[in-house]
Structure 1
């Protein structure tokens, strides 16, 4: 059975948990504190970026998006057509470099730190860059129901994680109707699970 180490309430942990739920993949979650505490895990995983998946063979995978690609292989969530698969990767890189560092960090500063005075300038910069990332998503989702065309994929899982809680970072999604419709489509998947379930 797969073992997953980390905090499933964090956006990166939630990505993996949502994928496993959608795939119906049996696993054991070994929880840790995503706010800085060490998860309960074996010594060889200490210091690794959360979440960490330990495969049945004993090998370990680190990094949420790498894990999504490995676990979704062979499923409908990872397209077999090379061009579409490349688009999935493009959205995952976008999530890691343009979306998550801004949307997730603004959420962390506001929700978990209470928007301290010392971080207000950083928070404002995150919000400005985060809105730019949301605009890119909005433009794509006006053209297609999911980020990579007509089908739900791990690109959607990767970006859903922090987008659906963006309001907790002070983002107003009211001006992004295509994103709002997409969030509803993702949440209607029959095997969907909420971040805090």
Structure 2
């Protein structure tokens, strides 16, 4: 039995797991559970999604691991995407916590309000303007970090880069953020896309 990933194709949280799987060359069966799909309803009914959402990784021994960054941490163990140095690993985790606590709730939410018809009624002008302002401030945090370095932590790509790439690389196209103001972030996006084994969101 191979691993199985319940994945929402359009979701950055699911994509980051698919990206790490591709970068590390690991085999995994994909089960698409797109938003509002019959497959998603069935997966919830079958108990395949412990927290009621994707992604969830089903291990070959039957255990289930939900939450994208927890999955990244498990899959990344022992790979070059996790630094050897203890402090660097802690820095990596701090960026991953920040992604879920700050970044995802603004960058991803604005993109979702623009992308999913079922959420369009929530995209009031006031809310969209607020998310735009807050998102640009968050991108500025990344810009400052990446202005003098190629990667968020250490000398190579880590789980922090994979984690934050997922929603950042579509922040302009899906979220409507002005990426021209963040050249270091844009250059970093290109570096991630050039990693061996890379697959895109639709790949």
TM range (shorter): over 0.9
Structure 1: distance between partners of 2:28 and 2:143: 34
Contact residue 49 and residue 66 of structure 2 kept, 8 A:
no
Distance in 2 of aligned mates of 1:141 and 1:118: 31
The Cα shift of 1:120 comes to 2.1
Say which of 80, 88, 92 aligns to 1:88.
Answer: 92
Check whether the contact 1:7–1:51 (CA below 8 A) recurs between aligned residues. Answer: yes
Distance 1:141 1:118, change over 3 A: closer
Pair 112,139 (structure 1): closer, same or farther in 2 beyond 3 Å: same
Runs of 4+ with >6 A deviation: none
Task: State the alpha-carbon separation in 2 of the partners of residues 89 and 166 from structure 1.
Answer: 22
Q: CA deviation at 1:69?
A: 0.3
Give the Å deviation of 1:66.
Answer: 0.4
The 5 A counterparts of 1:1-197 are 1-35=2-36, 38=40, 40-41=42-43, 43-46=46-49, 48=51, 49-113=53-117, 116=121, 119-167=124-172, 168-197=174-203
Whole-angstrom distance in 2 between the partners of 1:73 and 1:46: 23
- Are residues 59 and 107 of structure 1, via their aligned partners in 2, closer, same or farther at CA, if it must alter by over 3 Å? same
44-53 or 115-124, which moves further after superposition?
115-124
Q: Could you tell me how far 1:47 is from its partner in structure 2?
A: 5.2
Where does structure 2 lack aligned partners over 5 or more consecutive residues? none
- C-alpha displacement of 1:118: 5.5
**Which 5+ residue runs of structure 1 have no aligned equivalent?**
none
Task: Indicate conservation of the 8 Å contact 2:83/2:154, yes or no.
Answer: no
Residues 96 and 152 (structure 1), Cα distance of their counterparts in 2 relative to 1, 3 Å cut? same
- Equivalent residues, number: 197
1:37-56: CA deviation from partner (whole Å, max 9, x where unpaired) = 62653723245231000111
- Say whether the 8 Å CA contact 2:151–2:157 is kept in structure 1: yes
What root-mean-square deviation, in Å, do the aligned CA atoms of Structure 1 and Structure 2 show?
1.8
Distance 1:116 1:94 in 2: 28
Contact between 1:3 and 1:29, CA under 8 Å: does it hold in 2?
yes
Output the CA distance in 2 between the equivalents of 1:82 and 1:19.
21
Instruction: State the secondary structure of the residue aligned to 1:169.
Output: coil
Name the CA distance, whole Å, in 2 between partners of 1:28 and 1:21. Answer: 12
TM-score, length basis structure 1: 0.93
